[in-house]
């Protein structure tokens, strides 16, 4: 059985948001159409506490988009974004959320960031999504949302490692693109066995 996985379509990742993905909102109409074609729709929501360790503002003298070493490895520092209960953490108002059966929140532990829908950035703390999908008999995922080069990429790579078949819908994802990171993300995803498709192959 297949599921649509809608990653982080939240105000802060859309134009005007704290960590905006250029034209991030442009994929929303396509995602809404796709949702209607799926029996199972799952969403993720980036959901950070105030003062989260991935925020540059939590590290003296650091600016957004610099990197630091965390106990679990290298971490890009971000502007404050998707703070729990803030308007920026809400799903974009145009996103159809009523068809979603499960919303998985991630990044709520202050000391670990979580790009992936499956594992936090330490690569071992599970969000529980893999077990949820397996218990429901879901073996194939179609990934859409934001951002191609971070949360989409890590969700796809971890999903493959967890044994799922992963399709990435090219016209329903958008990236932040730091120094070629979108092209690199595609290379990594395809290299690890993801399949790139367009929404027209699924919509009729």
- The interface mask with ligand VGL, positions 84-123, x = CB under 6 A, is -------------------------------x--------
Is 174 a catalytic site residue? no
Q: How far apart, in whole angstroms, are the C-alpha atoms of residue 97 and residue 198? A: 21
- The interface mask with Zn ion, positions 81-120, x = CB under 5 A, is --------------------------x-------------
Q: For strand 73-76 and strand 67-70, is the pairing parallel, antiparallel, or unpaired?
A: antiparallel
Closest CB 1 distance from ligand VGL, rounded Å: 26
164 forms part of the interface with ligand VGL (CB under 6 A): no
Residue in 89, 88, 81, 66 with CA at minimum distance from that of residue 178: 66
Q: For strand 140-146 and strand 165-174, is the pairing parallel, antiparallel, or unpaired?
A: parallel
Interface segment toward Zn ion; rule CB under 5 A; list 20-28, 40-48, 85-93, 167-175:
40-48
Closest CB 149 distance from Zn ion, rounded Å: 13
Q: How far apart, in whole angstroms, are the C-alpha atoms of residue 88 and residue 81? A: 7
What residues between 116 and 145 interact with ligand VGL by CB under 6 A? none
Q: How far apart, in whole angstroms, are the C-alpha atoms of residue 131 and residue 137? A: 10
Q: How far apart, in whole angstroms, are the C-alpha atoms of residue 37 and residue 62? A: 44
Closest CB 83 distance from ligand VGL, rounded Å: 11
25, 82, 151, 174: the active-site residue: 151
151 forms part of the interface with ligand VGL (CB under 6 A): yes
Find which of ligand VGL, Zn ion, none residue 146 binds, CB within 5 to 8 Å per kind.
ligand VGL
Q: How far apart, in whole angstroms, are the C-alpha atoms of residue 79 and residue 106? A: 17
Q: Which residues pair with 76 in a beta bridge?
A: 67
Assigned token pair, 6: 């809608």
Residue number with CB closer to ligand VGL (133 or 151): 151
Q: Active-site positions?
A: 8, 106, 151
């Amino acid at each position: 059985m297949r599921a649509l996985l809608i990653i982080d379509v939240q105000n802060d990742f859309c134009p005007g948001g704290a960590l905006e993905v250029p034209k991030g909102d442009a994929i929303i109409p396509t995602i809404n159409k796709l949702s209607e074609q799926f029996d199972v729709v799952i969403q993720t929501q980036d959901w950070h506490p105030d003062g989260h360790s991935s925020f540059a503002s939590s590290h003296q003298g650091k600016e957004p988009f610099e990197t630091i070493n965390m106990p679990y490895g290298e971490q890009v520092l971000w502007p404050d974004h998707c703070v729990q209960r803030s308007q920026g953490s809400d799903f974009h108002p145009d996103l159809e959320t009523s068809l979603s059966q499960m919303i998985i929140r991630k990044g709520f532990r202050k000391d670990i960031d979580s790009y992936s829908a499956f594992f936090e950035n330490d690569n071992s703390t599970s969000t529980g999504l893999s077990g949820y999908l397996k218990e429901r008999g879901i073996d194939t995922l179609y990934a859409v949302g934001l951002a191609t080069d971070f949360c989409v990429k890590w969700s796809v790579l971890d999903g493959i490692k967890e044994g799922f078949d992963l399709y990435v819908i090219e016209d329903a994802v958008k990236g932040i693109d730091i120094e070629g990171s979108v092209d690199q993300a595609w290379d990594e995803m395809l290299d690890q066995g993801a399949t790139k498709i367009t929404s027209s192959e699924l919509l009729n």
